[in-house]
Amino acid sequence: MSKIVVFNGSPRKNGYTSKLLEQVVKGAKSKGAEVMEFNLNDPGIRGCQGCGYCRTHDGCAVNDYLQPMYEAINEADAIVFGSPIYYYQITGQAKVWLDRTFPMVEHDGHTVTPRHPGKKVITIFAQGGSDPKIGAEGIKYITNIFELYGWKLEDSIQFCGTNNPDLQKFEELSLKAFKDGENLVE
């Protein structure tokens, strides 16, 4: 059975990011995937403490809401990540999570080696402005880090213009998100 882990960096449970993530989840579940979801706005999340535990261990010493994600990621076939664009970047909540994914790589001082490569990835973004360039740098930033982890981007959806939403476009992207979810399951 395919295992999928979802990370939602939006604080809005009914926002566009959450709705598109929900479609990916529905698509994946319709094909029988087992899905585990993490809400990155959960108050039980601590930022990376920079303790160095993950430089010598494959895991994290912080025992909080995110702790179960390490085993879940290790076992997963696919990762689904979503975030609104806040000030041209992923949200603060998503960045706190990203720091906590430092155990995904090993450093020997010169080279960075992924510890858990080969995951498929779907990314979802929503932004107020209609110009895709607004979110482009932030999207590139996190996509590069996923690449560093050896994760393979299968699709990325960016819904632009939520200040004055094109609902037909949103419907199209919702369908795309559902199909992305289906396609994660082989």
Ligand X SMILES: Cc1cc2nc3c(=O)[nH]c(=O)nc-3n(C[C@H](O)[C@H](O)[C@H](O)COP(=O)(O)O)c2cc1C
Q: Which is nearer to ligand X, 101 or 162 (CB)?
A: 162
- Minimum separation from the CB atom of position 20 to ligand X (A): 8
Q: Which is nearer to ligand X, 38 or 149 (CB)?
A: 38
Is position 178 an interface residue for ligand X (rule: CB under 6 A)?
no
Residue 183 tokens, joined: 């396609």
**Burial zone of 11 (CB within 10 Å; 0-12 exposed, 13-18 middle, 19+ buried):** middle
Q: Which is nearer to ligand X, 10 or 39 (CB)?
A: 10
- Minimum separation from the CB atom of position 98 to ligand X (A): 17
- Span interacting with ligand X, options 42-50, 58-66, 124-132, 167-175, rule CB under 6 A: 124-132
CB atoms within 10 A of CB 182: 15
> For 86, which DSSP code?
B
- In the set 34, 41, 128, 148, which binds ligand X (CB under 6 A)? 128
- 16 residue type, one letter: Y
> For 89, which DSSP code?
B
d(CA 184, CA 23): 13
Contact map string, positions 52 to 91, toward ligand X, x by CB under 6 A: --------------------------------xxxxx---
Contact map string, positions 88 to 107, toward ligand X, x by CB under 6 A: x-------------------
Q: Tell me the H-state helices in the chain.
A: 16-30, 53-56, 68-75, 92-100, 133-148, 167-184
The number of residues that bind ligand X (CB under 6 A) is 17
Quick check: helix, strand or coil at residue 30? helix
d(CA 169, CA 83): 18
Residues 11-50 binding ligand X (CB under 6 A) are 12, 15-18
Name the residues that contact ligand X, by CB under 6 A: 10, 12, 15-18, 84-88, 126-129, 134, 162
